[in-house]
Amino acid sequence: MKNIKRMGLLALILALGMSLTACGGKSGLSKDEAMTYVTGIIEENYLGTASDEFKKLVDIDDDDVASTYEGSMDAEVEYFIYNYAIEYPTDEQQEEIKELYKEIYSHLKFEVVSAAEQDDGSFSVKVTIYPIDIAHLAEEELETALEPWYEKYPTEVQENMSEEEKMTADAEWAEIIINAFRSKLSETSNLDAQSTTVQLEKDEDGYYSITDEDFYRMDAMVIDYPYYEG
């Protein structure tokens, strides 16, 4: 039976596309550069933009930024498909979801507050995120928007459908989910600030990057998805 999974898939997001390009090297890293780096990682992955300072710091160009951004949006599509139990996503639906996320992330609001170098040479960078609330708005919409679908496809019907019938039902399901999000774009805003600290760890060659665990945690704050135990 169709059921919204309501769970995180942060490891998949990072594995599929979000970039944690390293910076530093023999020249080391200053506090200001640590802040520039974290700012750039956020802007590159969620907005598809990057300052000249960031591009110079990590030695990339505009094509690299665009490639990273598209990969990040592809990862968001995979997250959406999994999280909302879309089993047979069409190419058109995937493109629609991708464009949807680009619009959602235009509401991104954050601040890289400070950086501090640690005794071991790593940097702790404090980041304030103002979570985007669209998933909560869509959730309210879906409470009623999915009722006709469940009436049309009750459990006993779902259990006896052919593959073709499942694909038809799934296409209808996907459009309801996508439309619920799209209908709330004009109402989308940001929730109260949340703070986190990301660690920039140095490898043996002197290059710094955000730890996976810290990136997962920061990413989970950007869009506030409803989560239910069990």
122 Cβ contact list (under 8 Å, min separation 6): 199, 200, 201, 202, 208
Smallest Cα–Cα separation from 33: which of 201, 208, 215, 216? 208
Contact 184, 134 (CB under 8 A): yes
For residue 3, how many other CB atoms are within 10 A of its CB? 7
Mean pLDDT of the chain: 88
Q: Please report which confidence band the pLDDT of residue 17 belongs to, taking 50, 70 and 90 as the band edges.
A: very low
> Is the pTM for the entire model greater than 0.85?
yes
pLDDT at 202: 83
pLDDT at 213: 87
pLDDT greater than 90 at residue 3: no
Domain spans, the chain: 10-222
CA 67-220-83 angle, to 5 degrees, is: 80
31 φψ region: left (φ > 0), alpha (ψ -120 to 50), beta (else):
alpha
The mean-pLDDT minimum among 24-33, 43-52, 120-129 falls in: 24-33
Segment 125-182, tens digit of pLDDT = 999 999 999 999 999 999 999 999 999 999 999 999 999 999 999 999 999 999 999 9
pLDDT at 21: 65
Contact 88, 165 (CB under 8 A): no
